[in-house]
Structure 1
Amino acid sequence: MKTATEADLPAIAEIYAHYVERSVATFELVAPDETEWKQRFAAVTGAGLPFLVARDADAVVGYAYCSPWKTRPAYRHTVEDSIYLAPAAAGRGIGGLLLDELLARCAAAGIREVIAVIADPGPANASPFLHRRRGFAEAGRLTGVGFKHGRRLDTLLMQRSLTVPD
């Protein structure tokens, strides 16, 4: 797992566009363009938060980052994680490696709480399993909060506390 750079953003955008257009893993309806990805990248890295890529040979096959959970100052030690894999990379353990590194870097950055917001947490979705295996616990469920591809969708909230010094 490596720290992402701006040069990785086209590959990241391509991976994410797949999920925007063909799945309910994200509630975005239009894939972000290059300018938007540069802004997101700058916001994450500018906040001192991790933005990672996984590579297979020279190709980016997945990425993960954390963004602030809320903008109010009292939430400054809480983040939301995002992990996406190229479809061909699924089932190879890459998501777990990305999440492990993301959690380690969050702890090093002084983050105390990591939230996963998982859309459509049905049996075909590997994300709840991935997060449970890394110590996340179910924190709640929001029913029918999303609507995409003609479906009402739930989200599962999962949370992990990190041990960091005061």
Structure 2
Amino acid sequence: MPAVNSSRAIMTDAVLLRDASEADLSAIRDIYNHAVEHTTAIWNDTLVDLDNRREWMKARKARGFPVIVAELSGKVAGYASYGDWRAFDGYRHTVEHSVYVDKDCRGTGIGERLMRELIVRAAAGNIHVMIAGIEAENTASIRLHEKLGFRIAGRFSEVGTKFGRWLDLTCMELRLPAADPASSGNPL
């Protein structure tokens, strides 16, 4: 996938969407850890530290994948990224994305703005399909994805566990304007 212009910054209704920097890692860690501790958005029980988030962002950027933050009144209110969906070359035009919003900023439209920006970047980066893996009871996220053109591709029953219960996974997909299937898809 070709690298996408990383200097892109968009201001909408006092929310600045921009590429994440080292200075944002503490907020990204805090948003992630809150989701780990309190939600089924991340099927992980382990909290992360700054080194983990630093390596995560470094790996994303090394592959030409965006890490975007939404800044509201000088504070990181959410972040979004995408990465490889599967490790095999044949999947090089397909990504799985993640969007997380600070607990105090949920329901404000920040998640939708981050998603819309990810879609723009994916299309510009020769991505053909975006995949969303959503806990099946997260109807707000499913509705948002449907609003943005995603369709339900399937549901896996009891494939994960968190908080002492089995979780179902709803998989959604968005096909973007045709990518070149003959391209390497590798920005490096």
CA drift at 1:46: 0.9
Q: Which residue of structure 1 lines up, in the alignment, with residue 177 of structure 2?
A: 163
CA deviation map 1:98-140 (0-9, x unaligned):
0000000011111111000002x22x54110111000000011
Radius of gyration: which is bigger?
A: 2
Code of the residue aligned with 2:36 in structure 1: it is: V
CA distance in 2, matches of 1:165, 1:85: 29
Code of the residue aligned with 1:141 in structure 2: it is: R
- 2:106 equivalent among 84, 90, 97: 90
Q: Which residue of structure 2 lines up, in the alignment, with residue 102 of structure 1?
A: 118
8 Å contact kept, 2:93–2:179: no
Q: Which residue of structure 1 lines up, in the alignment, with residue 8 of structure 2?
A: none
Q: Which residue of structure 1 lines up, in the alignment, with residue 11 of structure 2?
A: none
CA drift at 1:165: 4.6
CA distance in 2, matches of 1:37, 1:47: 16
- 1:152 equivalent among 166, 173, 179: 166
- 1:5 equivalent among 21, 41, 48: 21
CA distance in 2, matches of 1:70, 1:165: 17
- 1:40 equivalent among 56, 72, 94: 56
Q: Which residue of structure 2 lines up, in the alignment, with residue 133 of structure 1?
A: 147
Code of the residue aligned with 1:109 in structure 2: it is: G
**2:131 is the alignment partner of 1:79:** no
CA distance in 1, matches of 2:49, 2:59: 15
CA deviation map 1:12-57 (0-9, x unaligned):
0001111101111110111221111111101111111111000111
TM (norm. structure 2) is: 0.84
Taking only the aligned residue pairs, the percentage that are identical comes to 40
Code of the residue aligned with 1:96 in structure 2: it is: E
Would you identify which runs of 4 or more consecutive aligned residues in structure 1 move more than 3 Å? Answer: none
Code of the residue aligned with 1:135 in structure 2: it is: G
- 1:55 equivalent among 68, 71, 80: 71
Note the residue ranges of structure 1 that are not aligned, 5 or more in a row.
none
TM (norm. structure 1) is: 0.95
